Amino acid sequence: MNPSRGKAEAARRLRDTIAAQFGRSLHIRTLDTGSCAVCEQEIRLLAAPHYDLQRLGFFFTPAPRHADLLLVTGPMIRAFDVAARKTYEAMPGPKVVVATGACALGGVYPKDPFVHGNVGEVLPVDVWIPGCPPSPLALLQGLGVAVGRLAERTPGLTFIAGPAADGGEA
């Protein structure tokens, strides 16, 4: 199989996965934990005509209650701990957390006492997207990986209330 066929196949699978699991409406909540806002600029570009995120079934939402995917930028400043946890807990499961950019991955401020320097110390991160900032293309690829994780988690639903209700995580 030639590589472009493979990629077309991957894109089709991504679309089908989102369509099947989330009715073509996977909603993204962005969370800025002290970022310099360049990551946000790149995320905003995803909604612009060139990248047109909606064609793949992704949407941005301001409400964590409506979100399936938490897109975290910034080095996770310590003052933001409570807000970050509350945002995560407000989201219904199954949910994925995507750490975006070198700050969130522990790159830019590795030794600053005011930040955790790594989103993974506060939230259970599922996908890491490197880049400073990650380009919209890199974000699209990362979202594809995240959907794969979400799809893995969805069949794990037992419909039994309690801690196991959202795929075994707290």
Which residues in this chain contact other proteins in the complex, by CB under 8 A? 4, 7-8, 10-12, 14, 49-52, 55, 102, 105-108, 110-111, 120, 125-132, 134-135, 137-138, 140-142, 144-146, 149
At closest approach, how far in Å is the CB of 66 from other proteins? 24
Residue closer to other proteins by CB (options 93, 120) is 120
CA distance 78 to 74: 11
Least distance from C-beta 138 to other proteins, angstroms? Answer: 5
Contacts for 83 with CB less than 8 Å, ≥ 6 apart: none
Tell the smallest beta-carbon distance from residue 90 to other proteins (Å): 24
Q: Which region holds residue 21: left if phi is over 0, alpha if psi is between -120 and 50, else beta?
A: alpha
Nearer to other proteins, 66 or 149 (CB): 149
47 three-class SS: coil
With residue 29 as reference, give the H or E element that holds it.
strand 26-32
Judged by beta carbon, residue 93 or residue 144, the one nearer other proteins is 144
